Amino acid sequence: MIEHFTPREIEAMRPAGEFVAGVLATLESEVRVGTNLLDIDRRAHELIRERGATSCYIDYHPSFGASPFGHVICTSVNDAVLHGLPHDYKLRNGDLLSIDFAVSVDGWVADSARSFIVGERRDPADQAVIDTTVAALDAAIAVARAGNKLGDISAAIGAIAHRDGYTVNTQFGGHGVGRTMHGEPHVPNDGRAGRGMRLKPGLVIAIEPWLMRGTDAIFTDPDGWTLRSQDGSRGAHSEHTIAITQGDPIVLTARPD
């Protein structure tokens, strides 16, 4: 079922969005060459406890996961592009790290992700795929307006990706958000403008373009969670939770100033 929320309910979602955005900013500022992925997870867990929030990940066990996730954040490194299960790995100079984080605050969920390069060694192709996911997310948010169609969001993402020479995997994409992390509708990362459901005020969705440098094919790691590119190429992931209104969309997980 697709839910629509009142303006008062959307206002009540703001603290969750602000907390998620703040945690991601904190983690990005603290990550260094040599940081262990398990330490990132522990730090995120500490911040959750301090806020009195509830992780959306730790007991999450969808059909595509081998077992309950068991951690509070996804840490995807290099050719790991989604659902990266934190493990004993120390980040190296030049690693491309994507972190994806979702929590519930006072019963309302927010979900966001960002990618960045660790250290000083920066491959321009890594930065390019990060920049394209950010541009695709911005383009999608720009058309996430009442009266437009869901396909307009998907088409905006796909147009940026194809413009920059990437192919798009549509197995995983955006989704409805509200009292739970994953709800209807599914928001593919490619599609045709003017198709799909009409966007109405009160719809809250996570929009999350993710791309890989050399392929659109993925496989699941032996850990049962981490999704990697078939050809070993690196990928990036950008995500915001937004609310459709009578005017401009509200980016609930906007980065803090």
Tell me: is residue 111 an annotated ligand-binding position.
yes
Beta bridge partners of 235: 212
Contact status, residue 12 vs residue 108, Cβ threshold 8 Å? yes
| 191's tokens | 């599609």
**Cα distance from N-terminal residue to C-terminal residue, the chain:** 35
Tell me: is residue 182 an annotated ligand-binding position.
yes
The bridge status of strand 96-105 relative to strand 74-77 is antiparallel
Tell me: is residue 28 an annotated ligand-binding position.
no
Q: Which of 256, 240, 244, 243 is nearest to 100 (CA)?
A: 240
Tell me: is residue 83 an annotated ligand-binding position.
yes
Cα 58 to chain center, whole Å?
16
Residues 6+ apart with CB under 8 A from 199: 144, 145, 146, 147, 148, 149, 150, 152, 153, 244
Tell me: is residue 41 an annotated ligand-binding position.
no
Across 202-227, b (16+ Cβ under 10 Å) vs e yields bbbbbbbbbbbbbbbebeeeeeebbb
| 109's tokens | 């969920």
Show the 3-state SS of 41-76.
HHHHHHHHHHHCCEECCCCCCCCCCCCCCCCCCEEE
Binding residues for substrate: 83, 182
Binding residues: 83, 100, 111, 175, 182, 208, 239
Binding residues for a divalent metal cation: 100, 111, 175, 208, 239
